[in-house]
Amino acid sequence: MFASLRKRFHGRDFLSIGDVTGEEIRAMIDIARELKEARYRGDRHTLCEGKTLAMIFQKPSTRTRVSFEVAMYQLGGYALYLNAQDLQLGRGETIADTARVLSRYVDGIMIRTFSQEDVVALAEAATIPVINGLTDWEHPCQILADLMTILEAKGRFEGLKVAWVGDGNNVCHSLLLAAPRVRMDIAVATPPGYEPHPEIVAAAKEAAAGSKVEVLNDPVEAVREADVVVTDVWASMGQEAEHTERVRIFRPYQVNASLLRHARPDCIFLHCLPAHRGEEVADEVIDGPASRVWDEAENRLHVQKALLALVL
């Protein structure tokens, strides 16, 4: 299966979770699970032997940097960390020119930046695969890890309900696009004015094919009978100046034990981290029996290994 899937993916960009089908998502996760099991057995893989990944960071990162760097090492390749401030990008070189030069040196580019338009421009100019490591619009690698964690915990996607509670941000966007592709229902609850972008909601509903896509303002209604509850920080990077005001507005949207009582008794809780404990999530939830947050963080490594092995 790997060989045929690699033929299908080789050289492709991964800019949005909407770029792949539900079938392809499931196949990537199957490979990620095989790589995870192999890692625990102590087996070594050299699927990226001799390959180099350039990693451009315009935003700080813990999990994205470490997981991609370790993934390349474990696959026999090499990851090159590039702080945007140290590149000529920081001195006015266009992102397209950067893409053209990097394409002569390395086999793939992962970029974590502010604007989805920059990632698209990079991919259009590059002759090698470009991976979206996070933008203001989407966080597709995070959602691959979330889906892998859900599959590990529940054994299926079909018929499950996932609830997003909090800001309608980039992670929410990717979850909205992914859930109907794997036949999960999704309910999003945000304060009024903080809903996901209408373009994303429309795309999610178009992909629904029988799954339910809801955008609400009531967290209790979103979480009701949910199998999976997901949240993220209330003020993302670049929104620090809004933090105090956002805490006031988002307070009723905290995921705590009281809110989780409206979900299914065996529901699981996910958070992409870092978590602001006492704000979007209570200790009793992130440290409680429903939490799969640490599995989710680990799975960033395994899904990215699968992605790198396929596209490079």
152-162 residue pLDDT tens: 999 999 999 99
Dump pLDDT digits (tens) for 291-306: 999 999 999 999 999 9
Report helix angle 140-154 to 170-181, nearest 10: 50
Cα(135)–Cα(115) distance, integer angstroms: 5
Binding residues for L-ornithine: 170, 232, 236-237
- Spot the catalytic one: 116, 118, 136, 139: 139
Crossing angle of helices 140-154 and 22-41, in 10° steps, is: 70
Binding residues: 61-64, 88, 112, 139-142, 170, 232, 236-237, 272-273, 300
Q: Place 84 in a pLDDT band, splitting at 50, 70 and 90.
A: confident
In the residue annotation, 48 being an active-site residue is answered as no
Residue 56 is predicted with a pLDDT of 95
Catalytic residue, candidates 58, 74, 116, 142: 142
112 belongs to the catalytic site: yes
pTM of the model: 0.96
Query: Quick check: bond before 274 cis, omega within 30?
Result: yes
Tell me whether residue 142 is one of the annotated catalytic residues: yes
For the chain, the first-to-last Cα distance in angstroms comes to: 17
44 is a catalytic site residue: no
- Please provide the DSSP assignment of 125-147 as one string: H-SS-EEEEE-SS--HHHHHHHH
Q: CB neighbours (10 Å) of residue 292?
A: 19
Delineate the domains of the chain, giving CATH numbers in brackets.
1-138+300-311 (3.40.50.1370), 140-296 (3.40.50.1370)
Q: Is 272 a catalytic residue?
A: yes
pLDDT (0 to 100) of residue 4? 87
Statement: residue 99 has pLDDT above 80: yes
The tokens of 5 are what?
A: 């899937």
Structure confidence by residue, pLDDT tens digits, 227-270: 999 999 998 877 888 899 999 999 999 999 999 999 999 999 99
